[in-house]
Amino acid sequence: MTTILRIACLLTALLTSAAGAALPLWEIEGTANRIRLLGSVHFLRAGDYPLPAAIEEAYRQADVIVMELDLNAIRPTDLQRVQQELAVDPRGRNLREIVGATAWRRATGLAQTIDIDLAMLQPFEPWFAALQITQLRLLQLGFDGSFGVDLQISRQARVDGKPVRGLETLDEQLGALDALTATAQQRFFVQTLEDAAALEDELTEIVTAWRNGDIGALNTLLLDGLADQPEVYDRILVRRNRRWTRAIIDMTDDARDYLVIVGTLHLIGEDSVQRMLGESGIRTRQLH
């Protein structure tokens, strides 16, 4: 599956793990503080709440919440601006022209199988169209971004008056996708449609692997398909993980306790944040 679908695919797995199984939650002992690192899911259902007690406790104990983005600071006008600046081709080409005739025929057939109208995505570049397809498909399956872990915790932090920080800006996050080459974007777009058609069945496999604590299976299900998209893997995963690792290391010298929340995909595999922290001498301990 593509990176975006893989991030979203941990959906209910986070909330349906068996009692006593490891959670996507790690702990770091700083010089004078404690940092917890939580693997998030961006789309959930209302029925998936409440979160496991250990996650709620990690939130309660944190003085500062750190996320990929400071969602409380993003305004609708920011989304509109970034969409116009990054998601629209500067040469004026539409989606069909950018991906080419052969890929477009393939994409059209795939979209029809999941009842998604590509006509509404014509004004956009392939990477942005892929994001919209992911969101539409998940909505079809009953999952909503408004119930995502990030957004729910952001809202709670605002109510509780806890400071929220972002590891990156909206421009930086979407700019990583916009910077993909034309070939990589075309592949990303078509692969997203292929994955969207099979998403419902694959969710069952992912949830089962999570319940069984089968990390090997999760690595296979969530990472192996990225092997043929090295540019996407590097820009969306590796480079961002490196930046975030440096930011987390800086937190270890603070006196305040942190809860750092990032997509679960960033916390598995050979290029995980934990692996990079370990290479810098920072030990992480997975919680239950």
Lowest-pLDDT choice from 16-20, 38-42, 260-264? 16-20
The stretch 96-125 carries a mean pLDDT of 96
Residue of 23 and 233 predicted with greater confidence: 233
101-112 pLDDT per residue, tens: 999 999 999 999
- 258: buried, middle or exposed (CB in 10 Å: 19+, 13-18, 0-12)? buried
- List the beta strands (DSSP E) in the chain: 25-29, 34-40, 64-67, 164-166, 258-263, 285-286
What's the pLDDT tens digit per position in 166-185? 999 999 999 999 999 999 99
Please report the pLDDT score of residue 22 as a whole number: 66
Q: Give me the long-range contacts of 133-141 (CB less than 8 A, separation at least 24).
A: 133/192, 133/193, 133/196, 134/2, 134/4, 134/5, 134/8, 134/192, 134/196, 135/43, 137/196, 137/199, 138/8, 138/11, 138/43, 138/199, 140/114, 140/115, 141/199, 141/200, 141/203
Task: Report the distance separating Cα 208 and Cα 260, nearest Å.
Answer: 26
Task: State the pLDDT at residue 220.
Answer: 74
Question: Is 80 exceeded by the pLDDT of residue 212?
Answer: no
Tokens 């990176």 -> residue: 3
Q: How confident is the model at residue 206 (pLDDT cuts 50, 70, 90)?
A: low
Q: Which residues contact 41 (CB under 8 A, 6 or more apart)?
A: 7, 8, 10, 11, 13, 14, 148, 149, 263, 264
pLDDT of residue 115 exceeding 90: yes
Rg (CA), the chain: 19
Query: Alpha carbon of 75 to those of 43, 134, 148, 155: distances in Å?
Result: 20, 22, 18, 14
Query: The whole model's pTM is what?
Result: 0.88
Percent of the chain surpassing pLDDT 90? 58
Instruction: Tell me what the pLDDT averaged over the chain comes to.
Output: 86
Residue 142 has pLDDT above 60, yes or no: yes
Identify the residue whose tokens are 């709620």.
56
Instruction: For residues 85-97, give the mean pLDDT.
Output: 96
Residue type, 82: V
Beta bridge partners of 263: 40
Number of H helices, E strands in the chain: 13, 6
Asked whether the predicted pLDDT for residue 83 surpasses 80, the reply is yes
What's the confidence (pLDDT) of residue 184?
Answer: 94
Task: Determine how many CB atoms are found less than 10 A away from the CB of residue 215.
Answer: 14
Q: Per-residue pLDDT averaged across 22-40, rounded? A: 90
Q: Are 158 and 168 in contact, with CB atoms under 8 Å apart? A: no
Beta-bridge mates of residue 224? none
Give the whole-angstrom CA distance, residue 134 versus residue 136: 6
Report CA torsion sign: 46, 220, 193, 176.
positive
pLDDT at position 13, please? 40
Q: Around Cβ 180, how many Cβ atoms within 10 Å? A: 21
pLDDT for 126 equals 97
What integer pLDDT is reported at residue 32 of this predicted model? 94
Would you state the pLDDT for residue 201?
A: 72
Between 149 and 220, the more confident residue is 149
Cβ(89)–Cβ(125) under 8 Å? Answer: yes
DSSP per position, 26-52: EEEE-SSSEEEEEEE-S-B-GGGPSPP
